[in-house]
A = this chain, B = another copy of it.
């Protein structure tokens, strides 16, 4: 068992999909990461910031799952980060309707003392400068640092993104972002270029088309579970990252073989996330359901061709 430190947003989301819409509900990258990782009963903590408007009940949803929330600063005079978006009919594309940074604008992350030696560090999608600040507060270099990012930082903070990339072991990024970062269409070539930027492991998330893991000349693929209906994709990428990081924290095994398994656990967690609005499904997930879905993943992908 390894300690897992998570940095990222804890936020309000308002979501519109073809199936309906929500008021302000619990969201944020660190929320989804933390909820997914909590399935593995690991020691974890979140570093984030919220405003005085953030319900104590939401914080309790996290602490009830044994997530250390002492690193979530509450700025009583401020407002919580808010994002709202509308998904198109294909559920693969969305428009951002509103982004209010609020307390996130001056976020000064503080790693709890007990987590300055965390073995696994999950840098959720945030300004790369903030991600660097967190990494710099670690007293012991983590055994594995995982970074998630997005196109916005490539457009506005590319130099800072390149700086932090040199220091991380794993990057999780979607296919369009991988292409944007490298100016390469082929994901195989893009992964190689990203590898040269720092990360030993490159995970390219393709949404409904699954996820690819690249490491040296090795490549591994986990499909997304074919679902009758994707209800709301919000948080699926963060949930993937949380399942990935949580499984590695639980097993403390950082071999390539086990990182492949972590990709399968990430895909498994993400397959639940999209079934309901926001974090609702992740808040009602049982170990038995996870077990059954892993069996579905095995049935989906495993075959018996003997090569002598």
In the complex, what's the smallest C-beta–C-beta distance from A282 to chain B, in angstroms?
A: 20
B228:A221 contact, CB within 8 angstroms: no
User: How many identical chains are in the complex?
Assistant: 2
Residues in B neighbouring A227, C-beta threshold 8 A: 186, 188
Contact with B along A208-251 (1 / 0, CB 8 A): 01101000001111010011110000000000000000000000
A226:B188 contact, CB within 8 angstroms: yes
Measured in the bound complex, the distance between the Cα atoms of B291 and A157 in whole Å is: 46
A186:B299 contact, CB within 8 angstroms: no
In the complex, what's the smallest C-beta–C-beta distance from A91 to chain B, in angstroms?
A: 9
Residues in B neighbouring A228, C-beta threshold 8 A: 186, 188-189
Measured in the bound complex, the distance between the Cα atoms of B303 and A261 in whole Å is: 6
Residues in B neighbouring A152, C-beta threshold 8 A: none
Which positions 82-122 of chain A face chain B at CB distance < 8 Å? 89-90
A298 at the interface (CB under 8 A from B): yes
Interface of A is mostly: mixed
Residues in B neighbouring A223, C-beta threshold 8 A: 210, 221, 223
B299:A218 contact, CB within 8 angstroms: yes
Contact-size category for A: 35 or more
Contact with B along A268-308 (1 / 0, CB 8 A): 00000000000000000000000100110011111111010
Measured in the bound complex, the distance between the Cα atoms of B212 and A210 in whole Å is: 13
Contact with B along A187-198 (1 / 0, CB 8 A): 111000000000
Q: Could you list some 30 contacts between A and B, CB below 8 A?
A: A186-B227, A187-B226, A188-B226, A188-B227, A188-B228, A206-B209, A209-B210, A210-B210, A210-B223, A218-B299, A219-B299, A219-B300, A220-B299, A220-B300, A221-B223, A221-B226, A221-B300, A221-B301, A223-B223, A257-B303, A257-B304, A260-B303, A261-B303, A261-B304, A261-B305, A264-B303, A264-B305, A294-B305, A298-B307, A301-B301
Besides A220-B301, A294-B307, A302-B302, 8 more A-B contacts (Cβ < 8 Å) are A187-B226, A189-B228, A218-B299, A219-B226, A220-B300, A221-B223, A294-B305, A298-B305
